[in-house]
Structure 1
Amino acid sequence: MVHTLAMSKVTEHLVPFEGGETWVRVTHPADSAPGALPLVVLHGGPGMAHDYVQNLAALADETGRTVVHYDQFGCGRSTHRPEAPPDYWTPELFVREYETVLEFFGLADHHVLGQSWGGMLGAEIAVRRPASLRSLAICNSPASMQLWVEGAAELRAALSPETQDALDRHEADGTTSDPEYLAATAVFYERHVCRVVPMPQDFVDSEAQMEAEPTIYHTMNGPNEFHIIGTMRDWTIVDRLDAVEAPTLVVAGEFDEATPATWQPFVDRIPDVSSHVFPGASHCTHLEQPETFRSVVSRFLAAHDDV
């Protein structure tokens, strides 16, 4: 299947994986830049599908490189496995999927950009030191879920007493689908997840598909961005970060739910690292300040392309 996106050509593919299929979207630039390596984009959630990061496809024509998006297994347009046991959904599963996608397309040297959970997955990939990984961009991501929970608690403490009460009460009662709880959650999201109101359609689309079949998100994460009760609640990569060999860019927003303490270990422990904070932005910096975000990323990628 072939579509058009500005001057680019977009192709869609189904890659065999785990007895099912991973859906992949490849944006081919109209004019390839010499030495510009492909970029593989890893979406967040886990389980939010690629829609909310698909605007990064603009990097194809802006930088003359191929941009690869895919819906991670279990969500979006890829095969779903709602019957799978909780221990099926592991970072290792998604590392294998990334490796399968690379092999299917014969991708050699390339860059990886991961947003939120995608940045965590990118770090899991990088500590394995794949020879073809030329650079890693970790965007709005924590280095451990404990740090994430602590950061969320600080941000919640700054909400109004009424909002905090609604969150605490419904979490204690297990009524996190109650409209009052959802309304309180929206207050947090509008401050720290995406400050564009109303939410951009790409974000709405990703959230809608996740809510329609929330297996991965609810299993690995929990009911929302700050009530972390899933299988990833004890995840950390802090003690493994010195194994990362790829040059790494760490970015976040000023009001990000990924607070500075959550991503500081990346800066402290990865040997070749730089960081950038976007003033006025939050967790979905790429949707709030798309041109500025892509400009920062483009400069980083160009510095690590083939020359």
Structure 2
Amino acid sequence: MKYKDGEYQLFLNEIGHWIKIEGSSNKTVPLVILHGGPGGNHYVFERTAGPMLAKERTVIYYEQRGCGRSDTPHSEDYSVELLVNDFSFLVEQLGIKRVDVLGYSFGGELALEVALAFPGIINKIVLSAPSLMFSDMVYDIQIQGFKKISDEEFSDRIEKLLSQNLTFKEIWQKVWALADSELVDRFLFEDVKLAKYNRRLWENSGLSNTGKMMKALQGNPPSTPLEKRLNRIMHPTLILTGAHDRNTGLKISNIMKQELPNSKLEIFKKSAHFPDIEEESKFVAKTLQFLR
């Protein structure tokens, strides 16, 4: 690998991308981390599970186009294909022949798309609370997730929306618009203290999700849904999912476990959408054990 520990701005596929490398002295197969969102960043992961992984592995963070500390493309130029190609440019520019990948939430979905497009550069795959964002199933999981943790008044508002002649996506958009930060924290976490810690880190980062990537990707989904292509991915894959995940849900992880030919599913009994934060030590141990 050409680069040592540090932060870099690399020009990939005509876009400046923020890169950070830790643990290069370990000289392992590099572990590339793919963040969620869509439109998120790595600020929290850099301060939680990431440094623990870097004690043993060479870890590479990069933030996707238009996300976090990376540059924004002109004309809101986003698609799964572009994001996958950005990844291939990253690996090429770093001078790496083969990488492991760890994708959380939407990053898990993107990791699988990369494995389908460039199977030769992927060694092992770790999926943390992976999504299938182009499926109506996700909208239903999240709507029911909000209903499960909301008070009677909010639950009644959801029921009223469900009784109207609206699509799942329209209901989902309205539910998210109604939810305040406290409800979102309860939705994403089991442990209230860790939810508050996570939100403080979000606020400290000064980074925000503009929503532009999500909107662009939803308007331009892959021609064949990912769930119908999962059985082509032969890489060893570890799926890490919280038992209480109301955001992407055990249902999606179970589908992936069933369809990915060489996969293993680990359930985190005390976690919701972020097992990397709620059960950090176990998350790191399971990941390192698998990568070894």
Task: Establish whether TM, by shorter chain, passes 0.5.
Answer: yes
Instruction: Give 1:190's aligned amino acid.
Output: R
Structure 1 SS opposite 2:41: coil
Q: Aligned pair in 2 of structure 1 residues 154, 234: CA closer, same or farther (>3 Å)?
A: farther
For residue 74 of structure 1, report the CA deviation from its aligned partner.
0.7
Partner Cα separation in structure 2 for residue 156 and residue 10 of structure 1:
41
Decide which of 156, 171, 186 is 1:190's aligned counterpart: 186
The answer to whether the 8 A contact 1:129-1:244 is kept is no
Is residue 130 of structure 1 aligned with residue 125 of structure 2?
no
The residue number in structure 2 matching 1:163 is 154
Q: Distance in 1 between matches of 2:196 and 2:234?
A: 40
Alignment of 1:1-307 (within 5 A): 10-29=5-24, 31-32=25-26, 36-54=28-46, 55-63=48-56, 65-81=57-73, 84-85=75-76, 88-143=77-132, 145-158=135-148, 159-165=150-156, 181-183=178-180, 186-193=182-189, 195=191, 196-200=194-198, 201-205=200-204, 209-211=207-209, 213-220=210-217, 231=220, 236-256=225-245, 257-302=247-292
Give the CA deviation at 1:273. 0.5
Which letter does structure 2 place at the counterpart of 1:27?
A: E
Determine the C-alpha separation between the residues in 1 that align with 2:119 and 2:101. Answer: 11
* Structure 2 residue runs without a partner (length 5+): 162-169
Tell me by how many angstroms 1:186 deviates.
3.3
Amino acid at match of 1:155: G
Cα separation, 1, equivalents of 2:222 and 2:120: 30
Q: 1:197 to 1:269 in 2, by over 3 A?
A: closer
Higher fraction of helix: 2
RMSD of equivalent CA atoms: 2.8
User: What residue identity is the alignment partner of 2:92?
Assistant: E
Counterpart of 1:136 in 2: which secondary structure?
strand
Q: Which amino acid aligns with 1:97?
A: D
Structure 2 CA distance for aligned equivalents of residues 42 and 96 of structure 1:
14
Contact in 1 for aligned 2:270/2:279 (Cα 8 Å)? no
Structure 2 counterpart SS, 1:138: strand
- Unaligned residue ranges in structure 1 (runs of 5+): 1-8, 222-229, 303-307
Q: Is the 8 A contact 1:119 1:139 kept in 2?
A: yes
Q: Is the 8 A contact 2:185 2:196 kept in 1?
A: no
C-alpha separation between the residues in 2 aligned to 1:205 and 1:273? 36
Q: Distance in 2 between matches of 1:128 and 1:44?
A: 19
How many pairs align? 273
Shift of 1:233: 10
Equivalent residue letter for 1:197: A
| Identity among equivalent pairs (%) | 21
Distance change >3 Å, CA 11–CA 291, structure 1 → 2: same
Residue 258 of structure 1: CA displacement? 1.8
Cα gap change, 1:52 to 1:186, in 2 (>3 Å): same
TM-score, length basis structure 1: 0.78
Q: Would the alpha carbon gap of residues 231 and 161 (structure 1) be closer, same or farther in structure 2, given more than 3 Å must change?
A: farther
SS for the counterpart of 1:275 is strand
Q: TM-score, normalised by structure 2?
A: 0.82
Q: Using a 3 Å threshold, how does the CA distance of structure 1 residues 27 and 154 change in structure 2: closer, same or farther?
A: same
Amino acid at match of 2:14: G
